[in-house]
A = this chain, B = another copy of it.
Amino acid sequence: MSTSKSVNRQILLVSRPQGPVTADNFKLVETPLAPLSEGQFRVRNHYLSLDPYMRGRMNDGKSYAAPQPLDAVMLGGTVGEVVESRHPRFAVGSKVVGSFGWQEYGTSDGAGVQQVTDPAVPLSAWLGAVGMPGVTAWYGLNHLIAPQKGQTVVVSAASGAVGSVVGQLAKRAGCRAVGIAGGAEKCRYVVDTLGFDACVDYKAGNLQHDLKAAAPDGIDGHFENVGGEVLDTVLGQMNAFGRIALCGMIAGYDGQPLPLRQPALILTQRLRVEGFIVSEHLELWPEAQALLARLVTQQQLHYRETIAQGLESAPEALIGLLKGKNFGKQLVKLI
């Protein structure tokens, strides 16, 4: 059982990126911790999740969510332990998943905070394969792509937190799972460890040809985490009546929007292209998380983490994530 300190360390967003994110968009501050009121508890965050969606929130444009305010703690999912409590249902020592953002301590009245009880699921997995990224994969695959046995499903950023789950679930559904990832090492991992049927290295420079070889019968379902050239290339190889779930357009977050080269293919191939945000489907999370937790504990769902050490490393870790430097789920260890 830990005891609470009196000072919190936090990272604020202090300016919006003009193009790529830079370290000076952020500022580390120390803030005194106020005493708890009745009905509150305090969490020592163990891990902070870094995710591509954060880049979108740093902009001030039209999006599905309000922009991250300036001079406020950067948003983000966290897991940690309750270290002080005046709340009847969150006892000291409880492990919790919350959205406390880029800071070492979070204070809450319990709203939106989930207690985790299964000791067989590693705490950090609640930010990855069993958490938001895993549920994102599950929702997009099952509810938007809805592949049939024997069909070919492609996923970009295939070694990442979302993509790795998409492909493994597609395999379990009897599909041919094809990943797209950056670099030979990631591709080997996607095939050898995650069990995809094939993985295409988009950095090798032959994306169109290599994808055709990896998906010789064409593509029936595509889960897009990247956008840009990858999406253009996949679109050109979609079979009639294919479904594309748009989960991320990371390539377009910086600067000018990336166009889609041949939208007419959506018509000529009678495709369905659909964007989604998993947090708008909370009613489905329990079903998804129960499955994902079971698969993780039975070691039937594999994942990999890249862990940066210490709150102060978060800005560089996010910058690296947005450039594809991470390998698997990007976390920051805060303790």
Contact = CB atoms under 8 A, between A and B. Distances in A.
A5 interface: no
Contacts of A262: 257, 259
Interface stretch (A81-89, A198-206, A268-276): A268-276
A241 to B, nearest CB: 9
B252 A264 contact: yes
A268 B64 CA distance: 5
A212 to B, nearest CB: 13
Interface string A248-276: 11001000011111111111111111111
Nearest to A250: B264
Given A227-B264, A257-B261, A257-B262, A272 B270 contact: no
A266 B275 contact: yes
A143 interface: no
Contacts of A240: 64
A64 B275 contact: no
Given A249-B263, A260-B263, A263-B259, A268 B227 contact: no
A270 B248 CA distance: 11
Given A64-B240, A240-B64, A264 B257 contact: yes
A177 interface: no
A177 to B, nearest CB: 22
A247 interface: yes
A273 B245 CA distance: 11
Contacts of A263: 227, 231, 246, 249, 252, 257-260, 263
- In the A-B complex, the 10 residue pairs with the smallest Cβ-Cβ separation, listed nearest first, are A267-B275, A259-B259, A260-B263, A249-B264, A260-B260, A246-B267, A257-B262, A273-B273, A63-B268, A266-B275
Interface of A: 56, 62-64, 227, 231, 240, 246-249, 252, 257-277, 280
21 contacts: A62-B269, A64-B267, A64-B269, A227-B263, A231-B263, A246-B263, A247-B267, A257-B261, A259-B259, A259-B260, A259-B261, A263-B263, A267-B275, A269-B275, A270-B275, A270-B276, A270-B277, A271-B274, A271-B275, A272-B272, A272-B275
